[in-house]
């Protein structure tokens, strides 16, 4: 699956990783070949991995502060869901955040929770094969796994 085909599928979400939109995307993907589903999972993981960078992960949660008024940090899961929301927003948004970190900031808000996008490849595989998928991808999409993106992270 090319990047163009991946982004065309993502575009069916209309910019948001809602439960219904992600279910539709999984159903659409399940009608394709298993290799296409695997390829989608690889592109998805790589897109998330590339966003796994300190400059995005250290942004505070948009619209939240601590009791003392200090910025509220993203959790590991929150950062993963924010990266999913950026991917769901589409290719132009995804590419744009690399040039302007401030474009990533709104996606840290719980309003843009992209968690449902995480389940699309697994659900598509299950719909296509009737089997649960115990998958791994070349790129780990978990937060803080991109060592090159976190130069100040301790080993």
Strands (E) located in the chain: 60-65, 71-73
155 pLDDT above the threshold of 70: no
Q: Residue 152 falls within a domain, yes or no?
A: no
7 vs 133, higher pLDDT:
7
154 pLDDT above the threshold of 80: no
Q: Residue 155 falls within a domain, yes or no?
A: no
Which one, of 131, 148, 129, lies nearest residue 139 by Cα? 148
Q: Residue 21 falls within a domain, yes or no?
A: yes
Q: What is the mean pLDDT of the chain?
A: 93
106 pLDDT above the threshold of 90: yes
Q: Residue 134 falls within a domain, yes or no?
A: yes
pLDDT of residue 19: 97
Q: How many helices (H) and strands (E) does the chain have?
A: 7, 2
Q: Residue 47 falls within a domain, yes or no?
A: yes
pLDDT of residue 67: 86
pLDDT of residue 152: 80
Whole-angstrom Cα distance, residue 82 to residue 58? 12
Burial class (CB in 10 A: 0-12, 13-18, 19+), 94: buried
Q: Residue 87 falls within a domain, yes or no?
A: yes
128 pLDDT above the threshold of 80: yes
Whole-angstrom Cα distance, residue 8 to residue 40? 11
Average pLDDT on 135-151 reads 89
Q: Residue 137 falls within a domain, yes or no?
A: yes
Q: How many residues are listed for the chain in this entry? A: 155
Can you give the C-alpha Rg of the chain in angstroms? 16
Which one, of 41, 35, 33, 30, lies nearest residue 6 by Cα? 41
pLDDT of residue 9: 98
**Each residue's pLDDT tens digit, 1-15:** 999 999 999 999 999
Q: Are 124 and 6 in contact (CB under 8 A)?
A: no
Residue-range definition of the domain harbouring residue 28:
3-145
**How many domains, in total, are found in the chain?**
1
- As a whole-number percent, the residues of the chain with pLDDT over 90 amount to 73
Q: Residue 153 falls within a domain, yes or no?
A: no
**Each residue's pLDDT tens digit, 14-59:** 999 999 999 999 999 999 999 999 999 999 999 999 999 999 998 8
């Amino acid at each position: 699956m090319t990047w163009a085909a991946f982004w065309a599928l993502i575009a069916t979400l209309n910019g948001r990783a809602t439960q219904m939109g992600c279910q539709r995307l999984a159903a659409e993907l399940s009608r394709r070949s298993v290799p296409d589903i695997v390829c989608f999972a690889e592109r998805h993981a790589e897109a998330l991995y590339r966003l796994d960078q300190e400059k995005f992960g250290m942004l505070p949660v948009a619209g939240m502060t601590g009791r003392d008024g200090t910025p509220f940090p993203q959790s590991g899961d929150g950062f993963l869901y924010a990266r999913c929301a950026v991917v769901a927003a589409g290719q132009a948004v995804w590419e744009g955040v690399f040039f302007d970190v401030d474009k990533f900031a709104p996606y840290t808000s719980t309003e843009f929770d992209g968690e449902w996008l995480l389940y699309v490849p697994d659900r598509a595989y299950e719909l296509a094969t009737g089997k649960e998928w115990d998958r791994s991808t070349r790129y780990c999409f978990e937060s803080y796994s991109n060592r090159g993106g976190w130069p100040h992270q301790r080993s």
